Structure formats: C-alpha cells, structure tokens
Amino acid sequence: MSQVNEERIPNNVHLSDDKKLQRALEAWQPNYIQWWRDMGPVGFQEDQVFLRTAISVEPDGWANFDYVKMPDYRWGIFLADPVHNRTIACGDDYGKPVWQQVPGEHRNTLRRLIVTQGDTEPASVEQQRLLGQSCPSVYDLRNLFQVNVEEGRHLWAMVYLLHSHFGRDGREEAEALLERRSGDENKPRLLGAFNEPCTDWLSFFMFTFFTDRDGKYQLLSLAESAFDPLSRTTRFMLTEEAHHMFVGETGILRVVDRTASKMKEHKIERPDDVRKLGLIDLPTMQKYLNLWYTLSLDLFGGEISSNAANYFAAGLKGRAKEAQYEDHVALTGTYGIDRIQDGKMTHEDVPLRNAMNEVLRDEYVEDAQRGVDKWNRTIAEHGIPFVLKLPSRRFHRNVGIHANLFFDPEGTPITKEQYEAKKDQWLPTEADKTYVKSLMTKPIYDPKQMANWISAPKQGIKGRAVDFEYVRHEV
Ligand code: BYC
C-alpha cells in the first residue's frame, strides 16, 4: 500500500503538508464515525463485507476490493488530476483561467451549493439504514453497503472542500451536515426527495435508478465549475456513482424479469394473480416508478430559475458535458416552456440562462428513458403486453411551475377532485406499500439463496460468483 494510504485519512491532496487542515479533518473524523454508527446501516457493523475502496484516481487501479468491517472503511479524499491550463467552461467569464481559490463574491453561493450536494450523501445513507434487515440476497446486501459507504465518501469529498476553502463557517457547515436527519421534522435534510422514507427494496432500486441519476447530472454540472477543486472532486465522484445507478437499473430489471417470466410460465395477467405468487405486479412497479421519478425531477429545481441563471453566469455550474454545446455564454437563446397560467395552458419562451435547470432535466429524462426501454424489452421478451412509462414531467410535482397544480400522468391538467379520485391508481397506496414490504419480511443471509420476487443477477462482483459470500454475517 502506498504511503498516501497509510495516513489516518487516505488522500491524494497532500493533506500532511497542511497540518492545520489535517488536524481539522482529523477532528471531524470521529464525529463522522459516530454518525455512521448512529445513522448508518442498522446491524452488520461488525460483519466483514466485500467492498470496493477508492485508493487513488488512476483509471486502471483506482479501487481495491476486499473484506472490511464498515466502520473501518478507509473513507478518503481524492480529487481527479488537474486538467492543464483549464479555463472557465461557461458564463460571463468563459475562457478565463479557472479558480483554485474561492472568489469573495461567490463565496456564499459556492458554499451553499457544496452544502446542498454534501447534505444529500448522508441523507441517502439514513434513508436506507433499515434495508439490510430485509435484503433479497447477500449479493444485494453487499451492493447496498457499497452504495452506502461511497455516499459516505462523497460526504467526505464535500467536507474537504468546506474545511479547506471556507474557514470557520465551512467547519460549522461540516458539523451541521452530521446533525440534520432525513425525515426529521425539526432538522430535515435540505432537499425534498432526501426526506422520503426508502424502507423497501423496490424503493431502493427506484431510488438508485432515479435519484442517484439526479446525482449524476448534478455532479456533471458541478464538474464544469470554475472552482477547480469542486470540478476535480465531482469528476472523481462520478466514477463511483456509475455503480449506484447500475444497482438500480439491474435491480429493477431483475424484478421485472422475475414477474414477467412467471406471468408467462403461469399464463396469468391479473395483478391479483401475480401477487398470489408472491411477486411484484407490473402496475405496482409503475406506481413506484411514478413516485421516485417525480420526486427526483423536483431535485433539478424550478424550470425558470434566477438561481440557475446566476450559477451559469458566474461559471459555478455548467450544463452536463458543457463542451457538447456551441455557445457557452448562452445570453441570446431562449427555451420554450409550457405551463398553466390563469387556468390555461400557455407557452412561454424563457431566456436560456434562466432555463438551465430544465436543460439539465431534459438530459436526465432522456437518460432515464434509456433504462426504462431496457426494462420494457425484458417484459416484451417474455411476451407480456405491458409497458412501463415515465409520466409527464408535470405530474406530481412539488417544486417549480407545475407544483401545487393537478395533472394526470400524461400531463393533462385535471381538477383537484379528479386527481384525488385517481391518485391511488398512479402512486403507491398504503396497501401497495404493505404488500411490497410483506414480501421482504424474511431477509436472505444465505449466499446460495435469492428472494422469490427477484431474479438472480447475471454475474457477481469483480469476477466472484453470484453466490459468493459477499457479507460474512453472523446470524
Ligand atoms: N427540495 O431556483 P430554484 C445526489 C429550493 S443528488 C427542496 O428552483 P435552484 C445524490 C432552492 O434551494 C444531487 N427545496 O432551484 C443522489 C431554492 O431555495 P431559496 C444533489 C428545493 O436553486 C442520491 C428554491 O427552492 N446535488 O448527489 O436553481 C444519493 C428555489 O430554487 C428543491 C445538488 O443538488 C427541492 N427538491 O436549484 C446520494 C447540486 N429544489 O434559494 C446523493 C447542488 C429547489 O429560495 N444544488 N429547492 O432559499 C443545486 O445546484 C441547486 O440547489 C438545486 C436547486 C439544483 C438543488
């Protein structure tokens, strides 16, 4: 193991050269571990888990796979290598050199963006802390913990920036990141979706597919930041994020595959008959999809946003893969938005900068559709006439111009009464949640077994078999 990794906090940022910063982070570390023990996965803390740990940013050797007890995980600080002569990717200062330090005029805004990003990471661990108690297999249990420890590392990534660039208020924000709690009325997490319960595995797979994908797009957008340390840290976070979305995409694929194959085998179509076999029926999956997709759409912020315009103008956030666009200043274009005004659907052309949240959401929707298409191909391969659909982005929104209005999943405006009357067909009901949870009351800790409601994965992790003992759990 390299010298770097023998330090108390593994890093590639020469932490030992800055004793003050090193001491401050080493003082935060025990509080973080305490938070992990209090709010991380319930149980399993003394088990050996086969986990990937980031050890460098080298493309062909960045991770080490081995058994580790979660509280001993080596959470480290890794920034992607600097890009030589990197210049500002967008906005008013397009083409000027990027900043290695935070400019005074952007200090508050940058701190807020970093805190918002940082807040989602522990929030998701808190949301998922009970899932180990109902896992469908040891393979899935390990993937859950992999996601959890890496969200913990992403918190470290943001806390490093707060400590190294924002002085005392940065340190205070780092403490506050360990104090807010997902779903707590008095000290909730900052963004809506991160206060929603995620206590069954269908929700977990939807979350890692839809909500982690918001993470991907927000990180892509922050990777374009003129504040170079933020760009470098988010670029490396994206490497880990890919696995989280894989967990969601393949998780749902396996649920869909299991249900559709059994529907074919038993020649059944009615959801009740599917449930009699202990499987998750496709209309219920559609409801969970509707919920997590729309909660995740909210995470992009308002469609028309002066915040987004200011971030772009200042070069704090760009569009995903900003280089793919021709005009990086975006002062002239407009973006067409359909919205209800005075009770009527109207069309509005918004200055492009103010629509940057919507531009990012467009890319997200397209990417999400690609995964849904895969699920549908699997359903079709079994000859089942059912298609999962992304609902309209106006449906069930709590943030932006469609919030507090009523639309059906096709995006057609309806009355509150019509919405209330149909809501149970579109979103999971208490009865649906109870049913889904009833399938997961007995966790599977035997590596040779898989829950009835999900197919086995095609392959295991890092060349290991699917039934490898990914978690050595003492029952
Ligand atoms: N819930 O102009 P607006 C991830 C607030 S996920 C509650 O519309 P803006 C991960 C907003 O703060 C990625 N409040 O929005 C995934 C503002 O408040 P003020 C996380 C919300 O500012 C899975 C007001 O509404 N990263 O990494 O353009 C597992 C009007 O704001 C919400 C980031 O989010 C909401 N959903 O955009 C683990 C990146 N949305 O100013 C991890 C950093 C908006 O009126 N954050 N508000 O007090 C940002 O870039 C922006 O803050 C947002 C909002 C895109 C979130």
Rounded distance from Cα 43 to ligand 1 centre (Å)? 32
Mean pLDDT over 381-395 rounds to 98
Give the Cα separation of 156 and 150 in Å (integer).
Answer: 10
Each residue's pLDDT tens digit, 210-236: 999 999 999 999 999 999 999 999 999
Each residue's pLDDT tens digit, 300-355: 999 999 999 999 999 999 999 999 999 999 999 999 999 999 889 999 999 999 99
* pLDDT of the residue at 5: 56
Ligand 1 contacts (CB < 6 A) are 113, 116-117, 120-121, 124, 151, 191-192, 211-212, 214-215, 218, 298-302, 305, 307-308, 317, 357, 399
pLDDT band at 62 (very low <50, low <70, confident <90, very high): confident
Query: What is the SS3 assignment for 45?
Result: coil
The answer on pLDDT for 4 being more than 70 is no
Rounded distance from Cα 297 to ligand 1 centre (Å)? 11
Ligand 1 pocket check: which of 177, 299, 337 to mutate, most ligand atoms within 8 Å of Cβ? Answer: 299
Q: Which of 79, 4, 18 is nearest to 26 (CA)?
A: 18
pLDDT band at 3 (very low <50, low <70, confident <90, very high): very low
* pLDDT of the residue at 437: 98
The answer on pLDDT for 86 being more than 70 is yes
Q: Which of 371, 369, 303 is nearest to 335 (CA)?
A: 303
> Model's pTM, two decimal places?
0.97
Contact 122, 35 (CB under 8 A): yes
Ligand 1 pocket check: which of 128, 158, 218 to mutate, most ligand atoms within 8 Å of Cβ? Answer: 218
Rounded distance from Cα 240 to ligand 1 centre (Å)? 21
Mean pLDDT over 259-270 rounds to 98
Rounded distance from Cα 327 to ligand 1 centre (Å)? 25
* pLDDT of the residue at 422: 98
Rounded distance from Cα 303 to ligand 1 centre (Å)? 12
Q: Which of 305, 306, 308, 298 is nearest to 393 (CA)?
A: 298
* Percentage of the residues of the chain whose pLDDT score is greater than 90: 96
The answer on pLDDT for 364 being more than 50 is yes
